Amino acid sequence: MTTELMLRYGVALAIGLLVGLERGWRERSEPAGHRIAGIRTYSITGLLGACLGSLTTITGSAMPLVASILVYGALFGALEYRKAVAEKEYSVTGFVAALVVMMLGVLAVVGDFRLAAAGGVALAGLLASRDMLHSLLQRITWAEIRSAIVLAAMSAIVLPLLPDRTIDPWGGFNPREIWLFTVLTAALSYLGYVAVRIVGPSRGALITGLTGGLVSSTSVTVAFARTAAGGGANWPLVAGACTAAMVSVIRVSVIVFLLRPEILQTIGPAAAAAALTLGLAALLLVTFQKEEPGDEGLPARNPFDLGHLLIFAAGFALVSTVSAAFVGNFGASSLIASSTLSGMFDVDIAVLSALRLDGTTVQAVQVGEAILCALAANGIGRLSLAVAAGPARFFLPLGGATLLAAVAGLVVFLLLAP
């Protein structure tokens, strides 16, 4: 018991040290005696919380804890107020952080110390990311905030009301499951969208492909094709399109890992071979020329836009129902045909629809094969759009890289197939 209690006190002290390190570093230019709290004060605050947790356990009463929080808050708040008046600044971050450190110290003793440690790390991370968060607020638009709020409302309010069962004769249309998969896909796309907004539009073809590929590899390919048709530097544009295709393959693998990790054994090696081939092709192509593409090479659509989400959900529901009907009437082999067809238009819909059939009448290996076919079909679809929008000097090398990636994936799949 003593050893465990010492460990809990150590966690409380570590939380204060971590937060105090961030706070002290941020105010390191202040003269001695001008800082309200630094690394020592926050460390002592963590220990104070641990002591209050022990006292609460011993006495069986929360009154000492409540009284201490009120007294500590009043003293710390008064000092922060005097500093704010003297320096004419308005911020209660340090005051709130101190109270949270104390409460986490209490939690480390009377509750789950692992949860307290996680909370301490999260608190320090939030404090340290002030500049990045403020910069993000400067870049983000009201339309993006509104879309995210609407999406959160639909997920938190509407989602629990949706029936968690299939409502079609073939077992393909489950409203709650379809919406959950839609939100997951939009969240992964939003990571790339935010990266584009933070990094900026003209940071090179490879960065554009990496970030834009998370949003839409097809959009990146078409935009680069149009830029090439307008006389843009060709090799970096092809490299960016290859990078976006590589990210698309990796993104699908992440979705499979999150939803059905057992299927990753089937598609993982082949997907890795294809992604590696596309990445090597991009590196080889980008060495031929160093110019960067213009801003028109970036996808600008917000993945959290409500209209696009509803269209995606409707398409997902339709493909899921049709795929289930095909499998129910023609057997598991028809899944490959339906996934290939839908994959040419939207690989996410094809992959999610195939994943939903895992564990029904379709085996995991067959679902994996359908996903690989959807990836290949999506590559063909991107290449077709590149042919329509760009010159031969753009789509020919892109077609060669796409063909090499498909061959590499096929060879690895055949070699490792059970």
Beta bridge partner(s), residue 362:
358
Helix 264-286, helix 392-416: angle, nearest 10: 150
In a domain, 28, yes or no: yes
Contacts with 147 (C-beta within 8 Å, 6 or more apart), sequence order? 302, 304, 305, 306
Q: What is the mean pLDDT of residues 287-298?
A: 50
Say whether both 179 and 122 belong to one domain. no
The pLDDT tens digits for 24-34 are 777 666 655 55
Say whether both 221 and 245 belong to one domain. yes
The two structure tokens encoding residue 308: 């696009």
The pLDDT tens digits for 206-237 are 666 776 666 667 767 776 777 677 765 567 77
The pLDDT tens digits for 240-251 are 889 888 988 898
User: Residue 398 phi/psi, 5° resolution?
Assistant: -65, -40
Which carries the bigger pLDDT value, residue 255 or residue 154? 255
| Residues across the chain | 418
Say whether both 167 and 230 belong to one domain. yes
Say whether both 78 and 221 belong to one domain. no
Say whether both 185 and 96 belong to one domain. no
In a domain, 133, yes or no: no
Task: Report the chain's terminal Cα–Cα distance, integer Å.
Answer: 52
- The Cβ of residue 175 has, within 10 Å, a number of other Cβ atoms equal to 18
Which whole-number Å values give the CA distances from 67 to 12, 44, 49, 261, 293, in the listed order? 20, 18, 12, 50, 62
- The Cβ of residue 402 has, within 10 Å, a number of other Cβ atoms equal to 24
pLDDT over 90 (residue 66): no
Which carries the bigger pLDDT value, residue 56 or residue 339? 56
Measure the CA–CA gap between 281 and 284, rounded to whole angstroms: 5
In a domain, 92, yes or no: yes
Say whether both 348 and 240 belong to one domain. yes
The two structure tokens encoding residue 131: 């500049």
Say whether both 21 and 87 belong to one domain. yes
pLDDT for 407 equals 92
The pLDDT tens digits for 398-414 are 899 999 999 998 899 88
Helix 364-389, helix 334-343: angle, nearest 10: 30
- The Cβ of residue 132 has, within 10 Å, a number of other Cβ atoms equal to 10
The domain total for the chain is 2
Say whether both 147 and 50 belong to one domain. no
71, 32 Cβ separation under 8 angstroms: no
Say whether both 268 and 142 belong to one domain. yes
**Which residue range(s) make up the domain with 334?**
138-416
Measure the CA–CA gap between 109 and 233, rounded to whole angstroms: 62
The two structure tokens encoding residue 324: 């289930």
The rounded mean pLDDT for the chain is 76
HSE-up of residue 366 (Cα within 13 Å, Cβ side): 18
Burial 215-250 (b: 16+ CB within 10 A, else e): bbbbbbbbbbbbbbeeebbbbbbbbbbbbbbbbbbb
The number of angstroms, rounded, from the C-alpha of 329 to the middle of its chain's C-alpha atoms is 37
pLDDT for 103 equals 92
362 SS3 class: strand
Model's pTM, two decimal places?
A: 0.54
The pLDDT tens digits for 357-399 are 655 556 777 777 788 888 888 888 788 878 887 888 888 898 9
* Domain end marker among 128, 158, 186: 128
The DSSP symbol for 263 reads G
